[in-house]
């Protein structure tokens, strides 16, 4: 079976290799991968900026079809069922610590599986983690109200998903900021409902203060993974305002945080889902199940449009070109089809 694995240090210690078929335990499902998304954290692993085990097959954003089942699997899971999957196992995260879905087939514990609604495609199902993380970040980690002025920093896949979920709260304005190199992504944000877009290099702090009569934004949602954006967030949010940090950097950054105590700001981390505040993987898995199911319901209702953020669909052997294109911001979201029969024509 073919898989993209990371086995050592450096950008060349990763590649398409032949690997053994997954071992299917008594409580496992064998899944033929329909689609798997390339996440920014996969690029971090490629560049040795995110901890991971080696060797490991990458890929944690996945959906597919059950083609095998362990002897003790519950009757609710049958051959032919379409599923998408959580990534928290008792041995670590799929695609980071245990073998992931940049492969033709993957074995996952049945407790990680979620039935994919009929009106969602494999590629939409593969992006459930984004919706799970962003919906949890808004509902459980952010104070947001109707008529709020909201700023989202970073127009990548996470920011574009957050934009659509934040609109469900009826804000009076949503501004999305990004670098000049993010122009294509900012245009996509505008198409998906952002009230205004603004370049980070053009002093978005002054623009936010102008649009809010000097008060500042009620909420800033940082989805950038950018050093400058965090300092800008503390300066554009109002006194007593709220900042939720979702983006990841993969390295140390230097940020001026004086405004946090001076202006009584609340800053929270928002990555993840219910249970992520606990270190115990078993607790995370049990508590988080409902967050994934809720995200699926939101998606099935058509409240989040994920297809527009997918700008490229590729075969497994094209992974390196896709990584490089994403690194250059030539793409927004790339979807891999390890089994070519599922690749849309």
Structure tokens at 123: 């590629």
Q: How far apart, in whole angstroms, are the C-alpha atoms of residue 345 and residue 341?
A: 9
68-93 residue pLDDT tens? 999 999 999 999 999 999 999 999 99
The DSSP symbol for 22 reads P
Q: How far apart, in whole angstroms, are the C-alpha atoms of residue 173 and residue 184?
A: 21
Do 51 and 113 sit in the same domain of this protein?
A: yes
pLDDT at 33: 98
Do 164 and 208 sit in the same domain of this protein?
A: yes
Do 81 and 209 sit in the same domain of this protein?
A: no
Handedness of CA 112, 117, 123, 127 (dihedral sign): negative
Asked if the structure places residue 37 within a domain, the reply is: yes
Number of domains in the chain: 2
Asked if the structure places residue 167 within a domain, the reply is: yes
The answer to whether the beta carbons of residues 66 and 95 sit under 8 Å apart is no
| Closest by CA position to 323, among listed 31, 21, 27, 37 | 37
The answer to whether the beta carbons of residues 269 and 245 sit under 8 Å apart is yes
Q: What is the percentage of the chain residues whose pLDDT exceeds 90?
A: 90
* Residue that is last in its domain, among 222, 249, 269: 269
* Residue that is last in its domain, among 206, 241, 269: 269
Helix (H) or strand (E) holding 66: strand 61-69
**What value does the mean pLDDT take over residues 98-117?**
97
Does the structure show a pLDDT above 90 at 30?
yes
* Residue that is last in its domain, among 215, 242, 269: 269
| Closest by CA position to 62, among listed 89, 39, 28, 43 | 39
Does the structure show a pLDDT above 80 at 250?
no
Residue identified by tokens 């959906």 is 63
Q: What is the domain-level CATH number for residue 239? A: 3.40.50.720
pLDDT at 326: 97
pLDDT at 282: 87
Do 153 and 209 sit in the same domain of this protein?
A: yes
Do 73 and 185 sit in the same domain of this protein?
A: no
Does the structure show a pLDDT above 90 at 225?
no
Do 108 and 222 sit in the same domain of this protein?
A: no
Does the structure show a pLDDT above 90 at 286?
no
CA 206 to chain centre: 30
Do 210 and 244 sit in the same domain of this protein?
A: yes
Lowest average pLDDT, out of 68-77, 162-171, 225-234, goes to 225-234
The answer to whether the beta carbons of residues 106 and 31 sit under 8 Å apart is yes
Q: What is the domain-level CATH number for residue 325? A: 3.90.180.10
For residue 327, name the pLDDT band (cuts at 50, 70, 90).
very high
Do 167 and 254 sit in the same domain of this protein?
A: yes
Asked if the structure places residue 253 within a domain, the reply is: yes
Asked if the structure places residue 276 within a domain, the reply is: no
What's the chain's average pLDDT? 96
Do 108 and 144 sit in the same domain of this protein?
A: no
Asked if the structure places residue 176 within a domain, the reply is: yes
pTM of the model: 0.94
Asked if the structure places residue 198 within a domain, the reply is: yes
pLDDT at 59: 98
Do 103 and 141 sit in the same domain of this protein?
A: no
pLDDT at 317: 97
Asked if the structure places residue 69 within a domain, the reply is: yes
Q: For the beta carbon of residue 213, count every other beta carbon within 10 angstroms.
A: 7
Q: Which domain holds residue 61?
A: 2-127+306-342
**What value does the mean pLDDT take over residues 90-106?**
97
Bridge partners of 267? 243
**Alpha helix (H) ranges present in 237-340?**
259-262, 281-300, 319-327
Do 109 and 237 sit in the same domain of this protein?
A: no
Q: For the beta carbon of residue 156, count every other beta carbon within 10 angstroms.
A: 23
pLDDT at 246: 95
Do 72 and 169 sit in the same domain of this protein?
A: no
The answer to whether the beta carbons of residues 144 and 167 sit under 8 Å apart is no
Measured at the alpha carbon of residue 160, what is the angle toward residues 159 and 165, in degrees to the nearest 5? Answer: 90
Does the structure show a pLDDT above 90 at 254?
no
Asked if the structure places residue 282 within a domain, the reply is: no
Burial-class residue 164 by CB neighbours within 10 Å (0-12, 13-18, 19+): buried
Does the structure show a pLDDT above 80 at 162?
yes
């Amino acid at each position: 079976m073919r898989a993209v694995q990371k086995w050592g240090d450096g950008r060349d210690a990763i590649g398409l290799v032949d690997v053994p078929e997954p071992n299917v335990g008594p409580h496992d499902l064998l899944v033929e991968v329909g689609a798997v998304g390339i996440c920014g954290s996969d690029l971090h692993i490629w560049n040795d900026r995110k901890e991971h085990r080696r060797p490991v097959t990458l890929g944690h954003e996945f959906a597919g079809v059950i083609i095998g089942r362990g002897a003790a699997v519950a009757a609710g899971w049958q051959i032919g069922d379409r599923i998408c999957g959580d990534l928290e196992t008792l041995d670590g995260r799929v695609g980071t610590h245990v073998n992931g879905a940049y492969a033709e087939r993957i074995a996952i514990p049945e407790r990680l599986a979620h039935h994919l609604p009929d009106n969602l495609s494999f590629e939409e199902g593969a992006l459930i983690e984004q919706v799970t993380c962003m919906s949890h970040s808004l509902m459980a980690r952010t104070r947001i109200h109707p008529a709020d002025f909201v700023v989202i920093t970073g127009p990548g896949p996470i920011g574009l998903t957050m934009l659509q979920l934040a609109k469900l709260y009826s804000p009076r304005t949503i501004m999305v900021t990004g670098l000049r190199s993010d122009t294509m992504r900012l245009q996509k944000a505008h198409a998906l409902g952002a009230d205004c877009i603004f370049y980070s290099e053009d002093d978005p702090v002054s623009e936010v203060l102008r649009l809010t009569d000097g008060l500042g934004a009620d909420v800033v949602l940082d989805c950038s993974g950018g050093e400058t954006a965090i300092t800008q967030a503390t300066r554009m949010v109002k006194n007593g305002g709220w900042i939720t940090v979702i983006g990841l950097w993969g390295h140390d950054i230097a940020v001026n945080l004086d405004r946090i105590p001076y202006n009584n700001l609340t800053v929270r981390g928002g990555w993840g889902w219910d249970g992520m505040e606990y270190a115990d993987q078993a607790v995370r898995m049990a508590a988080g199940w409902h967050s994934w199911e809720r995200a699926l319901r939101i998606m099935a209702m058509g409240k989040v449009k994920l297809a527009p953020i997918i700008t490229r669909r590729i075969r497994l052997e094209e992974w390196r070109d896709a990584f490089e294109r994403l690194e250059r911001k030539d793409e927004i979201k790339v979807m891999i089809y390890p089994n070519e029969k599922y690749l849309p024509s």
